[in-house]
Amino acid sequence: MYYNKSGEKIICYNVGRSNDFLNFYLAGITYPNPNYFITHNISKHNLWDRYNFEYVIKGKGYIETPTKKYEVKEGDCFFLNRLQPHIYYADKDEPYEKAFIVVSGNFIDNLLASYKMSDSVIIRNVDVEDIFIEIHQIIDFPGENFDLLTHLLLKLVQKLHSLNYKENPNLLGLAEKIKACIDDNIYENLNLLSLEKALNISKSHIERVFKENYQISPIKYANNRKLELAASLIITTNFSISNIAMNFSFNDAKYFSKCFKAYFGVSPTQYKKIKI
């Protein structure tokens, strides 16, 4: 650990130790500094071929692309895509404090592709501070904690992907709200009753509206999405089948394997052999 010229606490700096599968290049804390100013890919001599995930603990700052300016504030998590031009900096009067991790590799490439996260900048007001804290606590020994780190990244990407159906209810149609609610709680044991409680809409109305818009029942969509994400974990981590089944709230590994085979046509073990 050390402090750089911007006053940031650098917890992890893995320059020169690249891993094609997953490399945690940089991680740390940005402390309030009115002169904080970073550029990515603004000139040909400044190639930034990595993904930034950052969480604003307090204060505020700004992100600029060639076409848009964004404000980020306390509670915002933001994602900066690789090979994209960005300028980001702290507000002069209320400079932010933020946690950050910078990653690259095939795992995160495939994970972001599976969530169709191709935008240059993504900002969500989501409570992910605990994820950053846990990553920072174990990142000094990535080899010992590799499976946990990949799982934490999966949770972080899932949170960033989620539409904020609670904070911005008027921006979404009902079917989109239902889908966002499912995506936001994909690790939970989802059923029509839990959706009814979360959305304050009757079970029958939820099922009818969702099926009319997506040609699939909400619970079938949820189970399929769980299996698709589980498949990513099967081929990118050393998690046991039991552990993956538990992560997605399946009753047991046997039932999970049965559902997996019905969806993919092969067992989880066979799937891993085919894909690796």
pLDDT value for 142: 61
pLDDT value for 18: 57
Q: In what order do the strands lie in the sheet with 60-64?
A: 37-40, 86-90, 60-64, 69-73
How far apart (Å, rounded) are the C-alpha atoms in residues 276 and 271?
A: 9
| CATH number of the domain encompassing residue 29 | 2.60.120.280
Last residue of a domain, one of 135, 161, 187: 161
Q: Does any domain span residue 207?
A: yes
My answer on whether 143 and 17 are in the same domain is yes
Are 105 and 112 within 8 A, CB to CB?
Answer: no
**Which residues lie below 8 Å from residue 129, measured CB to CB, with a gap of 6+?**
55, 57, 99
pLDDT value for 112: 87
Last residue of a domain, one of 116, 136, 161: 161
Q: Answer whether residue 163 shows pLDDT above 80.
A: no
| CATH number of the domain encompassing residue 197 | 1.10.10.60
- Give 27-53 pLDDT, tens digit per residue: 999 999 999 999 999 877 778 999 999
Are 6 and 59 within 8 A, CB to CB?
Answer: no
My answer on whether 147 and 205 are in the same domain is no
Q: Which domain, by its residues, includes 185?
A: 171-276
My answer on whether 120 and 214 are in the same domain is no
Residue 66's closest CA among 28, 16, 118, 121?
121
Q: Answer whether residue 95 shows pLDDT above 80.
A: yes
pLDDT value for 111: 83
- Give 104-146 pLDDT, tens digit per residue: 988 888 888 877 789 999 999 988 999 999 999 988 766 667 7
- Give 232-257 pLDDT, tens digit per residue: 888 877 788 998 898 899 988 999 99
Q: In what order do the strands lie in the sheet with 2-3?
A: 2-3, 9-13, 23-30, 97-104, 51-58, 76-80, 121-125
Q: How confident is the model at residue 4 (pLDDT cuts 50, 70, 90)?
A: confident
Q: Tell me which of 98-112, 135-149, 217-231 is least confident.
A: 135-149
How far apart (Å, rounded) are the C-alpha atoms in residues 24 and 103?
A: 5
Q: Answer whether residue 154 shows pLDDT above 60.
A: yes
Last residue of a domain, one of 129, 161, 193: 161
My answer on whether 230 and 125 are in the same domain is no
Helix (H, G, I), strand (E, B) or coil at 10: strand
My answer on whether 148 and 197 are in the same domain is no
My answer on whether 13 and 118 are in the same domain is yes
Q: Does any domain span residue 60?
A: yes
My answer on whether 126 and 250 are in the same domain is no
Measure Cα distances from 206 to 144, 171, 270 in Å: 44, 18, 36
My answer on whether 98 and 175 are in the same domain is no
pLDDT value for 60: 97
My answer on whether 65 and 143 are in the same domain is yes
pLDDT value for 5: 83
My answer on whether 59 and 154 are in the same domain is yes
How far apart (Å, rounded) are the C-alpha atoms in residues 22 and 84?
A: 20
pLDDT (mean) for 160-167? 65
My answer on whether 21 and 99 are in the same domain is yes
**Which residues lie below 8 Å from residue 263, measured CB to CB, with a gap of 6+?**
224, 227
**What is the number of domains present in the chain?**
2
- Give 181-212 pLDDT, tens digit per residue: 898 888 889 999 999 998 899 999 999 999 99
Q: How confident is the model at residue 57 (pLDDT cuts 50, 70, 90)?
A: very high
Number of CB atoms found within 10 A of residue 174's CB? 16
Number of CB atoms found within 10 A of residue 262's CB? 10
**Which residues lie below 8 Å from residue 153, measured CB to CB, with a gap of 6+?**
22, 103, 107, 108, 111, 135
pLDDT value for 3: 84
Q: Answer whether residue 16 shows pLDDT above 50.
A: no
Alpha helices by DSSP H, 66-145: 106-114, 129-138
Q: Does any domain span residue 166?
A: no
My answer on whether 143 and 11 are in the same domain is yes
Q: Does any domain span residue 122?
A: yes
pLDDT (mean) for 1-26? 78
